[in-house]
């Protein structure tokens, strides 16, 4: 199992120099590498894969886009080792026009959580004239009182997303990692 799943906080950082797609490094607070994801350019449907390292030795998570248009399709999160469909994340397109919302569904299609962008005021400011303001997301899941947070660090050139999970949180950390990669790679694309 991936060591990333043992961390309560990690940073997803986009690599600066890239030619044929985005590359994301997943690191702890001491900049130790815990995961790597590559997003290929010019794909009709997204197919994101998370590995332990940049040599892609151990693939432990796959995120695949369901429909051609991700606005109402969704992304399936799969554990390739176990061949297990963990669930789906789906953007609430119309509700996300002012404030980003993602719905989390289990493998049966039942809602198990919601990821919501921070305050409506900041969200509107970002969309109107302050597009460089970093986003903060709160993830509420069924059966857990404490939220998981994902917040962008201010950097207009390189995307950085900090994921913070309460230590005793029971939600599947593979699902959290998949959701975080989708947010880092896809949320807000084309808005700047």
Per-residue pLDDT tens for 128-151? 766 667 889 999 999 888 999 999
pLDDT tens-digit readout, 42-83? 666 888 999 999 999 899 999 999 887 655 669 999 999 999
Backbone angles phi, psi at 171, to 5 degrees: -70, 145
What does the pLDDT read at residue 128? 72
Q: Which helix (H) or strand (E) holds 9?
A: strand 9-14
Band (pLDDT 50/70/90 cuts) for residue 191 is very low
Residue range 20-34: average pLDDT?
90
Q: Is 21 left (phi over 0), alpha (psi -120 to 50) or beta?
A: left
CA 116/CA 122 separation, integer angstroms? 12
- Give the per-residue pLDDT at 125: 72
25-44 average pLDDT score = 87
Residue 41 pLDDT greater than 50, yes or no: yes
Write the DSSP symbol of residue 132: T
pLDDT in the model for residue 150: 97
**According to the model, what pLDDT value does residue 120 have?**
72
How sure is the predictor about 18, in pLDDT bands with cuts at 50, 70 and 90?
Answer: low
Partners of 78 in beta bridges: 62, 85
The set of residues, in sequence order, having a beta carbon less than 8 Å from that of 123 and lying 6+ positions away, is 98, 99, 100, 117, 135
pLDDT digits (tens, 9 = 90+) for 163-172: 999 999 999 9
Q: Which domains does the chain carry? A: 3-186 (3.20.90.10)
CB 139 within 8 A of CB 149: yes
Reported confidence tier of residue 126, pLDDT bands at 50, 70, 90: low
Pick from 22, 23, 47: nearest CA to 36 = 23
Handedness of CA 68, 79, 37, 49 (dihedral sign): negative
CA distance linking residue 169 with residue 130, whole number of Å: 34
Q: What's the whole-model pTM score?
A: 0.88
How is residue 14 written in tokens?
């986009």
Strand partners, 116: 101, 138
The more confidently predicted of residues 76 and 126 is: 76
Q: Which residue, among 12, 32, 34, has the nearest Cα to 23 in the 3D structure?
A: 12
Mean pLDDT, rounded, of the chain: 85
What CA–CA distance (Å, rounded) separates 37 from 63? 10
More reliable by pLDDT, 64 or 21 = 64
């Amino acid at each position: 199992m991936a060591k990333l799943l043992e961390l309560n906080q990690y940073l997803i950082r986009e690599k600066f120099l890239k030619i044929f797609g985005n590359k994301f490094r997943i690191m702890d607070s001491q900049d130790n590498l815990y995961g790597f994801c590559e997003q290929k350019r010019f794909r009709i449907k997204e197919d994101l894969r998370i590995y332990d390292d940049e040599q892609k030795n151990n693939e432990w998570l796959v995120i695949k886009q369901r429909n051609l248009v991700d606005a109402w399709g969704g992304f399936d999160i799969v554990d390739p080792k176990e061949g297990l469909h963990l669930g789906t994340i789906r953007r609430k397109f119309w509700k996300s026009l002012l404030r980003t919302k993602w719905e989390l569904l289990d493998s049966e299609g039942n809602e198990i959580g919601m990821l919501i962008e921070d305050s409506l005021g900041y969200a509107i400011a970002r969309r109107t004239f302050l597009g460089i303001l970093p986003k903060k997301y709160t993830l509420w899941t069924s059966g857990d009182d404490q939220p998981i947070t994902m917040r962008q660090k201010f950097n207009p050139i390189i995307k950085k997303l900090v994921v913070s999970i309460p230590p005793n949180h029971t939600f599947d950390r593979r699902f959290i990692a998949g959701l975080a990669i989708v947010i880092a790679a896809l949320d807000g694309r084309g808005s700047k």
